[in-house]
Amino acid sequence: MNKIFIVVISIVMLTGCPKPPLQEIADAKAALESARIAGAQTYAPKEYSSAEGYVKKAQDDSDNRQYNDAKVEALTGKQLAEAAKQLALARQTKGTAGNEGEQSTTTSLLSGIGITESSIIGRGSLGEGVIIKQLKRISFAFDDYSLSNDAQTILIENAKWLSSNPGIKIQIEGHCDERGSEEYNLALGEKRANAAKDYLKQLGVASDRMSVISYGKERPLNPGHDEKAWAENRRDEFVVVTR
């Protein structure tokens, strides 16, 4: 009996158990506090609120021993909090709240290279940066992050435009459809964004001009619940940013 007990204990010690992501949650809370001090609640309220929601969910899931979900949520909350801080600081420099300061800064940047306001067809998922006609989105197959021939063709054209406009920086957003868990889709969205970044690097776009972020299934392009909507939501967006 004692031998069996010792064997069981040994197996548990060797295999280990998931650990609460204490450091990740602490880092996320620190980033959120830093964003608050920077004025994100006033100058980037949507972005701050989104980050705050992820940090709270991370703490709740950790308390309920959902450690894997909590870790992903904490890392996402930290990333969003840092983005909210930077956006708030940029808007304060312009002396405006909400999206006006960022819109003005980005519009001025685009105007400087001959791009008119009519080229702007949308904004980044958290209101930061703009989506322009010259940088087209790419799509993905279900549960996949490999680049199709069509996606590669689009990325080649995007790379040509970026090479002709070396002062532009972009953030690549990875998105998924609504199927699957939040944790799984956050990871899949990041893989999709990195797949595009890696391909653009191969085409000569400098790595320091590109950043990536995953929104998983949280920012659908099409709010529907059918194959058409799902196909539209499995995508990468290329957002022109000013930082």
Among 94, 119, 146, the domain-final residue is 94
Based on the domain organization, do 20 and 134 belong to the same domain?
no
pLDDT of residue 7: 46
pLDDT of residue 93: 61
CA-nearest of 126, 82, 125, 76 to 137 is 125
Based on the domain organization, do 89 and 199 belong to the same domain?
no
Based on the domain organization, do 108 and 219 belong to the same domain?
yes
Based on the domain organization, do 48 and 31 belong to the same domain?
yes
CATH number for the domain spanning 155: value is 3.30.1330.60
- Domain membership of residue 201 as a residue range: 100-241
Among 36, 64, 94, the domain-final residue is 94
151-194 residue pLDDT tens: 999 999 999 999 988 888 999 999 999 999 888 999 999 999 99
pLDDT of residue 9: 47
Based on the domain organization, do 138 and 32 belong to the same domain?
no
State the pairing for strand pair 169-175/210-216.
parallel
pLDDT of residue 108: 59
Based on the domain organization, do 31 and 121 belong to the same domain?
no
Number of structural domains found in the chain: 2
Based on the domain organization, do 52 and 125 belong to the same domain?
no
pLDDT of residue 88: 77
pTM over 0.85: no
Based on the domain organization, do 22 and 127 belong to the same domain?
no
pLDDT of residue 166: 86
Among 62, 79, 94, the domain-final residue is 94
Distances (CA, A) of 7 to 2, 10, 17: 9, 5, 16
- All residue ranges of the chain with pLDDT < 50 are 1, 5-15
